Amino acid sequence: MDQKRHSRKTITEDGRLMLAKSEQDGVETVWDRLEAQQPHCGYCELGLSCRICAMGPCRIDPFGEGPQQGVCGADADIIVARNLGRMIASGAASHSDHGRDLVEVLEAVARGASPGYAIGDEDKLRRVAAEYGVETEGREVLSVAGDLARAMQEDYGTRLSRLGLLSRVPEQRQALWDRLGITPRGIDRETSEMMHRTHMGVDNDWQNLLLQALRNALSDGWGGSMIATEVSDILFGTPQPVSSRINLGVIQEDQVNIAVHGHNPIVSETIMRACRDEDLLQKARDRGAAGINLVGLCCTGNELLMRHGIPMAGNHLMTELVLVTGAMEMMLVDYQCIMPSLGRIAPCYHTRMISTSDKAKFPGMEHREFHSDNAAELARELVEQAVDNFGKRNPDKVSIPSQPVDLVGGFSVESVLQALGGSLDPLLEAIKSGKIRGAAGVVGCNNPKIRHDLGHTVLTSRLIENDVLVLDTGCAAVANAKHGLERAEAAERAGPGLKEVCSSLGIPPVLHFGSCVDNVRILVLAAELAKALSQDISALPLAGAAPEWYSEKAVSIGAYCVASGIDTVLGPTPPVTGSMNVTGLLTQGLEDILGARFAVEPDPEEAARWMLSRIEGRRKGLGLDSRQV
């Protein structure tokens, strides 16, 4: 009975077992709180509530009996467009601020003011610097790094007319953005302008608002997120295929367990180095532990997995349940997607919760602020405290479920090129011959409104069965890996063409492309494929999906994918359906101007069919063989 009840919440075994334990332990989880919130406010779900100014708050009666305009006179179209624009502004700001933090570390490294960090990939530094027009020939690595950091900081400002990395975008797409007036000029500028335009009494043309929303999203995809990924590679190394293991089974009963949760590798990388410190390992052994076991959660976990093979405990909806194992000595968080409930759950066990960023404090957590000058030292101090906490663990409360699943992570544009022998031609040939029908990005979060991991894994399974290569990131990548789809053996689950290609290269049919800022790796690969074929991205047999999205960042990602020419299907419905004009533009009208559009489909089987039909349609457009879906 309990088993069945928990099965309705998650498809994962470790999740079900820990849900049962959470009930025994009296721990409230995200699913309980979702239930308590039912029913959700219909006005908000429709996007028809407006809290922007103090003449309101206002709502539009969707039945037409009550008010049809806010106090200012904004109708449903304006209110929905403004709300959507602000969601995208928040999402773009989150990714871009994450990128800015990395650029600041890069700049500090260049000044020698950042003892815990170094340049991890000099080749990539020089390549990216050259793209920014920084002189690299015969120059000291740190002076190149300083110039690159300053050039990137210019991208955040207002002095440019277009972002530096737009040089990576196919010419046709750049020309289209110029025509539409949506070429992103500055990363912070577009977010700032979005907020300005949605202030009462500024932009009240819903179409014009949505165009700025797209420009804002592009300032994330080809700006803030792209900088975040590139600087992470420069500082910590560009990912190469690496083996690891995944699910709550990676937690070790006989070791000191430390989890890192959040997004930026700045903190988690220093924690990882401290966990490998011989003095601290000896101290752990002295305390009766067999070692120090670092595990990842969410995207900072993905960052460590991609570069170092650090095992992954779980995705967004597992972040509370990882504490319920009772075996976690410490969890360190930075920012984004960290549920404030964690600080209330930890005291049920012995787990110490540490917040690390000046911009993200949480109730019930100890705040120990990381900065580039103190990071290495503070990381050692905290890991030592985690070791000290091992003795406080209550064995009666410990339960570690499931056997971990193997996976291969660490795919990047660079490592894919390497696997293909230095050129994209083998991939293009496989697509042209039809062995691979196309490629799909399956990305985004978990959302308790969707059965945990079901959306990602069913959608991905259907795509690979139909010979579509899947690139996944974020919580989607974690879900697919737990489902065994990121092992080379998973080629057996792919259609015959994809199976043949994967087997010959020894790669899985589902390639773990990293964290959620790493969606830009998919953009770069799509742009490279397009340029190789002298086509726009919108002509390629590509599609994207966010089957279990919840966050504003995902809305920005979806919007930059569509604006870049990639059809994107969303699982949960975004709050736009209060305006049929906005809904119609997103799901139909955008196709005419951008060559790509959104779809909303909570059923992953149907979503897969939609993506396959779009991919086959694009194959037809390219003059390639096309299947009926």
Partner 1 sequence: MRQVVVHPERCVGCMQCMAACAAAHSQSGFLAAAIRENPLPAPRVHVGSGRYGEGFPNRCRHCDPAPCMTACLPGAIYRDRILNTVLIDPSRCINCASCAMACPFGVIRYHRDPWVSPNRAVAVKCDNCVHRQTQGLIPACAEVCKSGALTFEEPEGAMKRRTDEMARRTAGYVEQERIGEEAPGFMLLRQLKKRAIQLTE
List contacts with partner 1 (CB under 8 A).
39, 41-43, 45-46, 59, 61-66, 573, 577, 580
The least distance separating partner 1 from the CB of residue 574, rounded to whole angstroms, comes to: 12
The least distance separating partner 1 from the CB of residue 45, rounded to whole angstroms, comes to: 7
Nearer to partner 1, 51 or 392 (CB): 51
Nearer to partner 1, 62 or 426 (CB): 62
Q: Which helix (H) or strand (E) holds 544?
A: strand 542-546
Give the alpha-carbon dihedral of 316, 569, 512, 454, to 10 degrees.
Answer: 50
The least distance separating partner 1 from the CB of residue 199, rounded to whole angstroms, comes to: 22
Measured in degrees and rounded to the nearest 5, phi and psi for residue 297 equal -135, 145
Task: Give residues with Cβ within 8 angstroms of 385, minimum separation 6.
Answer: 330, 352
| Dist. CA 615–CA 498, nearest whole Å | 15
Please count the other Cβ atoms lying within 10 Å of the Cβ belonging to residue 99.
28
Task: Give residues with Cβ within 8 angstroms of 273, minimum separation 6.
Answer: 116, 376, 379
Nearer to partner 1, 42 or 181 (CB): 42
Residue 559 in tokens: 């919007």
Nearer to partner 1, 113 or 580 (CB): 580
Burial of 31 (0-12, 13-18, 19+ CB in 10 A): buried
The least distance separating partner 1 from the CB of residue 71, rounded to whole angstroms, comes to: 12
| Dist. CA 616–CA 395, nearest whole Å | 55
Measured in degrees and rounded to the nearest 5, phi and psi for residue 484 equal 80, 15
| Dist. CA 509–CA 464, nearest whole Å | 7
Maximum alpha-carbon separation in the chain: 72
Nearer to partner 1, 39 or 422 (CB): 39
Nearer to partner 1, 59 or 316 (CB): 59
Nearer to partner 1, 62 or 484 (CB): 62
Please count the other Cβ atoms lying within 10 Å of the Cβ belonging to residue 137.
7
Nearer to partner 1, 573 or 587 (CB): 573
Q: In Å, how far are 186, 230, 288 from 220, measured between CA atoms?
A: 10, 13, 47
Cα four-point dihedral sign 517, 521, 526, 530: positive
The least distance separating partner 1 from the CB of residue 42, rounded to whole angstroms, comes to: 4
Contact 561, 441 (CB under 8 A): yes
| Dist. CA 269–CA 300, nearest whole Å | 9
The least distance separating partner 1 from the CB of residue 82, rounded to whole angstroms, comes to: 20
| Dist. CA 168–CA 439, nearest whole Å | 19
| Dist. CA 514–CA 410, nearest whole Å | 7
DSSP annotation of 586 reads I
Report DSSP letters for 438-497, one per residue.
EEEEE-----TTS-BTHHHHHHHHHHHHTTEEEEE-HHHHHHHHHTTTTSGGGGGGS-HH
The least distance separating partner 1 from the CB of residue 402, rounded to whole angstroms, comes to: 37
| Dist. CA 193–CA 104, nearest whole Å | 24
CA-wise closest residue to 486 among 411, 428, 542:
411
The least distance separating partner 1 from the CB of residue 60, rounded to whole angstroms, comes to: 11
The least distance separating partner 1 from the CB of residue 577, rounded to whole angstroms, comes to: 6
Please count the other Cβ atoms lying within 10 Å of the Cβ belonging to residue 230.
28
Residue 483 in tokens: 């489902």
The least distance separating partner 1 from the CB of residue 339, rounded to whole angstroms, comes to: 21
The least distance separating partner 1 from the CB of residue 36, rounded to whole angstroms, comes to: 9
> What residue type is 613 in one-letter code?
S
Task: Give residues with Cβ within 8 angstroms of 576, minimum separation 6.
Answer: 47, 80, 84, 582, 583, 586
Q: 58: which strand partners?
A: 50
Nearer to partner 1, 65 or 286 (CB): 65
Cα four-point dihedral sign 618, 619, 623, 625: negative
Nearer to partner 1, 314 or 574 (CB): 574
Nearer to partner 1, 39 or 496 (CB): 39
The least distance separating partner 1 from the CB of residue 562, rounded to whole angstroms, comes to: 22
The least distance separating partner 1 from the CB of residue 34, rounded to whole angstroms, comes to: 14
Nearer to partner 1, 63 or 112 (CB): 63
Nearer to partner 1, 41 or 290 (CB): 41
The least distance separating partner 1 from the CB of residue 47, rounded to whole angstroms, comes to: 11
Nearer to partner 1, 47 or 262 (CB): 47
Nearer to partner 1, 67 or 288 (CB): 67
The least distance separating partner 1 from the CB of residue 62, rounded to whole angstroms, comes to: 4
Contact 535, 573 (CB under 8 A): no
